[in-house]
Amino acid sequence: MQNESVSSILTIEQQKKITMTGVDSVDAFSDSEIKLTVNGKKVFIAGAQLKVLAFSKGSGNFSATGEVSSVKYGGAKGKALQRLFK
């Protein structure tokens, strides 16, 4: 049995709107942080006035608005691997 990885695309528009494909689940959210699971790995979105607009478990499409300040990808053990922008 092969391990099939679903591709994921992250788009951030002017640090105000974020969309992502391949999202497995929205684990938690507040106005300052959104926690997602993407392909079995954790993704942390930090900012201010964050608001989840839509999430479809069937298609894996996710969108949110607010002031996005960082996106961190965590490994299987939850450690942060990369900060995308300041």
Per-residue pLDDT of the chain (86 residues; tens, 9 = 90+): 444 567 899 999 999 999 999 999 999 999 999 999 998 899 999 999 999 999 999 999 999 999 999 999 885 443 444 444 44
Q: How far apart are CA 12 and CA 14, in angstroms?
A: 6
Residues 6 or more apart whose Cβ sits within 8 Å of residue 67: 15, 16, 47, 48, 49, 50
Specify the pTM: 0.78
Q: Of 75, 25, 80, nearest to 52 (Cα)?
A: 25
User: Which tokens go with 53?
Assistant: 């607009």
